[in-house]
């Protein structure tokens, strides 16, 4: 995470508080869930081209929102703690792939 972004994540806490950021994380995850659901559903629905573009644009936006909120969570709970867990989970995934 860049220094400039770290500053942004502290500013959001200063302005809205940590509890609001946790709520925001939950909301953004729900929005991404919905966007993925719409993305999957479009293959069954006969959408017009512009509607398909809308579905994809919405998906990209919601992925970006969740990515930002994950960075916010890393800032709040400690980059090192998340990095350690990430490495552990990545090793677990690699072991599962090799089984």
- Using CB under 5 A as the binding rule, whether residue 31 contacts Mg ion is answered as yes
- Which of residues 5 and 83 has its CB atom nearest to Mg ion in the complex? 5
Comparing C-alpha atoms, which of 96, 95, 31, 85 is closest to residue 63?
A: 31
> Taking every pair of C-alpha atoms in the chain, what is the biggest distance, in angstroms?
48
Backbone angles phi, psi at 39, to 5 degrees: -60, -45
- Which of residues 8 and 31 has its CB atom nearest to Mg ion in the complex? 31
- Which of residues 20 and 93 has its CB atom nearest to Mg ion in the complex? 20
Q: How far is the CB of 76 from Mg ion (least distance, A)?
A: 19
Interface with Mg ion in residues 62-91 (CB under 5 A): 65
Q: Where along the sequence are the contacts to Mg ion (CB under 5 A)?
A: 28, 31, 65
């Amino acid at each position: 995470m860049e220094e400039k972004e770290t500053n942004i994540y502290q500013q959001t806490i200063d302005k809205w508080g940590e509890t609001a950021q946790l709520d925001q994380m939950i909301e953004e995850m729900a929005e991404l869930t919905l966007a993925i659901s719409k993305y999957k559903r479009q293959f069954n629905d006969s959408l017009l081209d512009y509607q398909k573009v809308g579905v994809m644009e919405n998906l990209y936006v919601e992925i970006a929102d969740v990515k930002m909120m994950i960075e916010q969570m890393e800032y709040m709970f400690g980059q090192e703690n998340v990095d350690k867990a990430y490495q552990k989970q990545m090793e677990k995934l690699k072991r599962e792939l090799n089984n």
